[in-house]
Amino acid sequence: MDRVRFISLTLVVLLLAGCSNDSTTSAQFAASQTPAAPGLVQLAQSSISGTQVRVNVLLHGPEPDLDLAAYRFAIRISDTSVLRFVPQSTYEQSALVAGEGQTIQVAVNTPDPSVVEVQVKKRGGGAGNGFASPAAVLIGLTFEVLGSGGATLSFAGVGASPPQVFDSTGSVIDDVIFDVQSATVAGVRTGGGGY
């Protein structure tokens, strides 16, 4: 009888362990459906780790003769109860390459939780640069899902200006355009569903 009782108790414990209500939430990224083309700035997934997704702001190329010297734009989060921006101590970019006597200045500000403002520029005068690769990273930003559901990320301007890219004379480069379609980041819950 003791053996039967032990087997029954073991089965109950295993059954309860298999019916746990534990669940995990992970981030998923969906890019816009705009086809990539040289001169288009677009949001792209770099990596996902649990609830966080790193998003690269890509300038598609190649653009070897661009004379790129600065850019300024914002990213708007449609629902901050679902998705938040994660500030970093440093931000990576590959679009601007410092020449002799030049430095790269990167500023990322959040005037409110739904807006991430990005301003990157060469300091020290001199020429801008182009790039021969299929795309250059204007900046990499990290976002975190706060639960299930989704929010969009879309480009916006800074202040009264639209999103802009500048050459070494300070003139707007009209051939570079920002994607008008949004990307989506969603929190997806898996596991759980116990009895």
CATH of the domain at 92: 2.60.40.680
Which residues make Cβ contacts (< 8 Å) with residue 3, sequence separation at least 6?
none
pLDDT score of 190: 82
pLDDT score of 160: 93
- Asked if the structure places residue 15 within a domain, the reply is no
pLDDT score of 27: 97
How many structural domains does the chain have?
1
pLDDT score of 191: 74
- Give residue 18's pLDDT band: very low, low, confident or very high (50, 70, 90): very low
- Asked if the structure places residue 192 within a domain, the reply is no
**Is the pLDDT assigned to residue 72 strictly greater than 80?**
yes
CA dist., res. 162 & res. 72, Å (int): 9
- Find the domain containing 157 and state its range: 24-184
- Asked if the structure places residue 148 within a domain, the reply is yes
- Asked if the structure places residue 53 within a domain, the reply is yes
**Is the pLDDT assigned to residue 98 strictly greater than 60?**
yes
Decide if 108 contacts 74 (C-beta within 8 A): no
- Asked if the structure places residue 153 within a domain, the reply is yes
The pairing of strands 149-156 and 63-77 is: antiparallel
- Asked if the structure places residue 56 within a domain, the reply is yes
- Asked if the structure places residue 189 within a domain, the reply is no
- Give residue 90's pLDDT band: very low, low, confident or very high (50, 70, 90): very high
- Asked if the structure places residue 108 within a domain, the reply is yes
**Is the pLDDT assigned to residue 102 strictly greater than 90?**
yes
